[in-house]
Amino acid sequence: MTATSVEQITPLRRLEAPLVAAAENQRFLELLRGLAADDWTKHTDCSGWDVRAMAAHVLGSMEAWVSVRELVHVMRAARKAAGTGLFVDGLTAVQIRDRANLTTKQLLERMECAAIRSARRRGRLPTPFRRATIEGNVGPMPETWRLGYLADVILTRDTWMHRVDICRATGREMVLTAEHDGRIVADIVAEWVRRHGKPCTLALEGPAGGVYTSGTGEQITIDAVEFCRVLSGRGTGTGLLAQQVPF
């Protein structure tokens, strides 16, 4: 397999990002459509969340970008719900709470309406808003992110990782392609290298994988999806794999 220099990986930006987001939202929706009735109550790798709660969170994230009113509501309610804790915890709690009474049919119908529209709206975020900041986190550590980074990168990663979570919880095989999933993974690899700043060769196995180099240093071989799970905090990593990235 031909190695790719990490420095040559183009970050997900405004023009490409909505297309990747729309494709991921659609894959997430297709996964939910194929679930059995008893799958919705199965526990996921996110503590306290079953599949239905996870789907409600993803739907809430989509709908916040479709409606300004919803975005203002969830931001205000999230700050109150978070208290002295992480803003993102308050945000997800509000998203799940507000959709707790939806039937499966209603949840899927609303996601069908929001999936593509939300991705397009994220791509149309005006430049002044893209430069605004929001509270984020890497694991337990708070960070400050540009809103453009949230719209282009984090929201797509979040949906992708929750697709991983639901596949693991329900025993479904995850649909993976080099063109789509490989692009998301490559962007994660590039940020991971920027954050740890050390030379390495990373061989990621599976359809979404590839070989990535940044100087001459530690050599790591791991499945591409498991690599991302480790970096998200869902798995345990040592050495360079202890460096998390935001999802």
pLDDT for res 85: 84
pLDDT for res 139: 84
Same domain, 148 and 233: no
67: in domain: yes
pLDDT in tens, 191-237: 999 999 999 999 999 999 999 999 998 999 999 999 999 999 999 99
Same domain, 57 and 99: yes
136: in domain: yes
Same domain, 119 and 224: no
Same domain, 159 and 117: yes
- Is the pLDDT score of 14 beyond 90? no
pLDDT for res 102: 97
Q: Give the rounded distance of the alpha carbon of 100 from its chain centre.
A: 21
Find the DSSP H helices in the chain.
17-33, 51-66, 68-82, 87-98, 104-123, 127-131, 147-149, 155-170, 181-196, 224-231
Which of these ranges, 75-79, 159-163, 186-190, has the smallest mean pLDDT?
Answer: 75-79
Same domain, 182 and 159: no
| Domain tally, the chain | 2
Mean pLDDT of the region 20-29 = 98
Mean pLDDT of the region 95-113 = 97
Mean pLDDT of the region 129-157 = 93
Output the pTM of the full model.
Answer: 0.95
108: in domain: yes
- Is the pLDDT score of 137 beyond 80? yes
Same domain, 108 and 37: yes
Give residue 94's pLDDT band: very low, low, confident or very high (50, 70, 90). Answer: very high
Side-chain half-sphere CA neighbours of 153 within 13 A = 22
